């Protein structure tokens, strides 16, 4: 295993948490300026300490790198065990980048309890990076569950009129599913002779019935987090009520926690169960891709529309996982990264409009391009990416998964490909009603175009949407050995 002289993973986890606590200490409601500045400095520093994970990464091996190991709770053989491969490294970088975006997004919009708001995102960032780097099962579980607390507070304290209901529903759904996963982890600890080491779990011989039961227990937590149909109903409520920053992080990063967990736990630990239940997983994914895409078309709230589109796009991710070919699996991971940029950008665009007009209803807008041409240009680009336009990141992920699906079964590929139609339907129809045509009313007539801060945020997101769409090899080169190793591992029966 490759390692490093400096504990870069520990720094990646605890630098944002440290800055978050520092912001809480110095923050004052009567003078929020220092808290804002310190939060941005903390987010930038936290991003910078993740860069050595990329620059020092060896793309020729599938072994875990930057490994850190120390005893944690020796009585139960719990260890502080961290490491990353070519899959997890991208999500750590994405998390740190999106944290800068949400700090900037809330810079002027959040005016009450500013320090607590900024601190919640910094702490949440550290906890999510912990999820992507944990190689001890219980350490993973602690980070996985701890992410609920800051997001619960973000929705409940700074959300919309029904924020308490949405926050409680979000917390209840995600916590209840995780209890079965905890039972599965304890069982694996017992079978492994008192070890929570994830790499040990991945190489244990488990009986078929054991694998099925463990897969179902893990599914209970991971599918809710993705979320998969039909346990997706918490997501639209959470998105609608969350502040803009909360929606960005929820869509861009938190949905990826469940998908990543499928790759780290469900597939490698229970490969035979994964193969046996693949038909069910593919069917659920196709329902999300097709049915939820149709549900998105009829929404009159922009946030709800994009929230449902997220469920449809994440359906591509779970579909790619269970095709068991390199094309589908790499496509699914690219789709996860792409969705981080595109969904984050879509929610940022909706936030820009909401800050000016204080409504998310599509019929309240119209002719926005006449008053906000710079914004409309960005909004069109991200809407096209959301629809899967070639040249954008949205196309690369979906098209690659469709190719993998065709290799697996032509008809499954054909059904998945219909998502490009539904995506164009809900994305471009929303853009048409919001931005095109004559100015709809006096409120729209008085809307001002992007300020420099908003232009910078959307510009950064646009760059990565186009960069990933034009040069996906930059991302796939690093992940390919790890994806191939995972696929080889899953193809070997443990029976």
At residue 389's C-alpha, the angle toward residues 388 and 392, to 5°, is: 90
Give CA–CA dist 135/129, Å, rounded. 12
Q: Exposed, middle or buried, 72 (CB in 10 Å: 0-12/13-18/19+)?
A: middle
The tokens for 136 are: 């001890």
| Beta-carbon count within 10 A of 296 CB | 26
The pLDDT value recorded for residue 3 is: 45
Q: What is the pTM of this model?
A: 0.90
Written as six digits, the tokens of 28 are: 């004052």
Give the whole-angstrom CA distance, residue 313 versus residue 331.
12
The Cα 164–Cα 174 span in angstroms is 16
Partners of residue 134 on adjacent β-strands: 82
CA distance 419 to 427: 12
- Cβ burial of 86 (10 Å; 0-12, 13-18, 19+) is buried
Query: Which residues pair with residue 84 across a beta bridge?
Result: 65
Q: State how far the alpha carbon of 407 is from the alpha carbons of 19, 42, 328, in Å.
A: 48, 46, 9
Which alpha helices (H) appear in 358-448, and where do they start and end? 373-387, 393-408, 410-417, 419-435, 442-445
Q: Is 204 left (phi over 0), alpha (psi -120 to 50) or beta?
A: beta
In tens digits, what is the pLDDT along the chain, a chain of 495 residues? 444 578 989 999 999 999 999 998 887 777 888 888 999 999 999 999 999 999 988 888 888 889 988 888 877 778 889 999 989 999 999 999 999 999 998 888 878 888 899 999 999 999 999 999 999 989 999 999 899 889 888 888 887 788 888 888 888 888 877 888 888 999 998 888 888 888 888 888 888 888 999 999 999 888 888 888 887 777 788 888 888 888 899 888 988 998 999 999 989 999 999 999 999 999 999 988 888 888 888 888 888 898 888 888 888 899 999 999 899 999 999 999 999 999 999 999 998 888 888 888 888 888 888 888 999 999 999 999 998 888 899 889 888 999 999 998 898 889 888 888 888 888 888 898 888 888 878 887 888 888 889 999 999 999 999 999 999 888 888 888 999 999 988 886 555
Query: First-to-last CA distance in the chain?
Result: 27
The number of residues in the chain equals 495
Can you say whether the dihedral through the CA atoms of 449, 454, 455, 461 is positive or negative?
negative
The answer to whether residues 292 and 232 touch, using CB atoms and an 8 Å cutoff, is yes
* Structural tokens at position 87: 């899959």
- Residue burial 329-350, b: 16+ Cβ < 10 Å; e: rest: bbbbbbbbbbbbbbbbbbbbbb
Query: How far apart are the C-alpha atoms of 272 and 453, rounded to whole Å?
Result: 50
Region at 193 (left for phi over 0; alpha for psi -120 to 50; beta for the rest):
left
């Amino acid at each position: 295993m490759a390692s490093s002289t400096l504990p870069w993973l520990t720094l990646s986890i605890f630098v944002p948490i440290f800055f978050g606590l520092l912001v809480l200490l110095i923050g004052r409601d009567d003078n929020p300026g220092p808290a804002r500045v310190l939060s941005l400095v903390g987010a930038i520093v936290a991003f910078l300490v993740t860069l050595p994970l990329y620059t020092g990464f060896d793309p020729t091996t599938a072994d875990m790198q930057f490994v850190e190991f120390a005893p944690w709770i020796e009585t139960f053989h719990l260890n502080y065990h961290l490491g990353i491969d070519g899959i997890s490294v991208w999500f750590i970088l994405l998390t740190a980048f999106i944290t800068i975006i949400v700090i900037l997004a809330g810079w002027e919009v959040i005016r009450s309890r500013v320090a607590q708001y900024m601190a919640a995102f910094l702490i949440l960032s550290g906890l999510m990076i912990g999820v992507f780097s944990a190689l001890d099962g219980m350490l993973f579980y602690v980070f996985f569950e701890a992410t609920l607390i800051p997001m619960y507070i973000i929705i409940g304290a700074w959300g919309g009129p029904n924020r308490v209901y949405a926050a409680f529903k979000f917390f209840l759904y995600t916590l209840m599913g995780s209890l079965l996963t905890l039972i599965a982890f304890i069982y694996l600890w017992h079978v492994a002779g008192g070890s929570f080491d994830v790499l040990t779990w991945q190489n244990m011989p488990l009986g078929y019935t054991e694998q099925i039961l463990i897969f179902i227990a893990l599914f209970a937590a991971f599918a809710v987090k993705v979320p998969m149909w039909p346990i997706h109903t918490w997501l639209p409520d959470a998105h609608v009520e969350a502040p803009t920053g909360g929606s960005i992080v929820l869509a861009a990063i938190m949905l990826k926690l469940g998908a990543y967990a499928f790759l780290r736990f469900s597939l490698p630990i229970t490969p035979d169960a994964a193969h046996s239940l693949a038909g069910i997983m593919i069917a659920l994914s196709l329902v999300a891709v097709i049915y939820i895409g149709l549900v998105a078309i009829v929404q009159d709230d922009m946030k709800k529309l994009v929230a449902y589109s997220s469920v449809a796009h994440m359906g591509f991710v779970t579909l790619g996982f269970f095709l068991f070919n390199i094309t589908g699996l790499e496509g699914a991971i690219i789709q996860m990264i792409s969705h981080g940029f595109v969904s984050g950008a879509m929610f940022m665009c909706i936030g820009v409009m909401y800050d000016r007009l204080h409504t998310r209803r599509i019929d309240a807008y119209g002719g926005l391009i006449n008053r906000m041409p710079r914004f409309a240009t960005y909004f069109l680009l991200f809407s096209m990416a959301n629809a899967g336009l070639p040249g954008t990141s949205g196309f690369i992920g979906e098209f690659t998964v469709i190719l993998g699906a065709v290799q697996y079964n032509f008809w499954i590929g054909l059904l998945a490909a219909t998502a490009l139609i539904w995506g164009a339907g809900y994305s471009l129809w929303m853009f048409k009603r919001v931005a095109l045509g004559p100015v709809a009313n006096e409120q729209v007539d008085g809307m001002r175009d992007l300020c420099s801060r908003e232009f910078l945020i959307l510009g950064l997101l646009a760059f990565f949407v186009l960069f990933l769409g034009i040069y996906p090899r930059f991302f796939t080169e690093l992940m390919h050995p790890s994806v191939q190793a995972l696929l080889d591992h899953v193809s070997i029966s443990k029976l």
